[in-house]
Structure 1
Amino acid sequence: MTDDLPTPGEIITIHERIDQRYGLKYEGIRIAAPRGMLRREVIEPAAEYDDPYHRAATLLFGIQSAHVFEDANKRTAWTATMEYLERTEIRPDFQQDKETIERIIRRAGLFEMDELAAWFETGEIDESRLPEH
């Protein structure tokens, strides 16, 4: 069921909140049809999974890689992913410090979807895959 996944409009609203909060240097959307792209590149692939952990992994990676926004794609991806997990009453118990979590978010593309899903479920991920600062 895709009812619990964020809609493209909700993802755009999350980005607008981030823009207001941080006063982004580069504002707005960088493509002509952001809702369609978010639906194709993020929501539909996430909906192919039955479990919330793979859906969360797809949201995190998909929003970043779709690069719909001029700035803050990673922050938008992280916020949308965490709001999705909260909506499904999942609160990951990450085993890493804040700095390492931020590095994982920035480098989500280095991990397979299964690895990211396991991270959301168990809090553990192979940190050796991350490049040095």
Structure 2
Amino acid sequence: MRLAILAAYAAVISTATASYAQQSADPSGVWLRDDGNARVRIAPCGSNICATNLWIRDTSKGEEAGDRLVMSLEPKSPDTLAGTAYDAKRDRTYSITVQVSDRSLLTRGCILGGVLCRNVHWQLAR
């Protein structure tokens, strides 16, 4: 009897997890940063998600076309992903949250254990 209950419980958890994963946010696409300085493609890369600069207007802060941020994200809610982002150019890992809506993204990247954070708004490129 216990085995049957455990099997039923496992089936419910598995179905709920699969359903939740299907409903999770997908940030894939080409996005424009709210300050007009960047055009970025977000797409799967292996088991991660990569954000690759396609175009940068002002390169004075070290950003260049081709720079890539490798994100390891997990669903937190149907519209939010959270995890880490690695910037190989700067050899820095950030904690990151990505909130996805139909035509916009809000990213929040933090360093120093969440002491220093920055929000960036993005619009879907047309």
Decide: shared fold, TM above 0.5: no
Answer 1 or 2: which has greater helix percent.
1
Answer 1 or 2: which has greater strand percent.
2
Higher relative contact order, chain-length normalized (CA < 8 Å, sep 6+): 1
TM-score, with structure 2 as normaliser: 0.30
TM-score, with structure 1 as normaliser: 0.29
Larger radius of gyration: 2
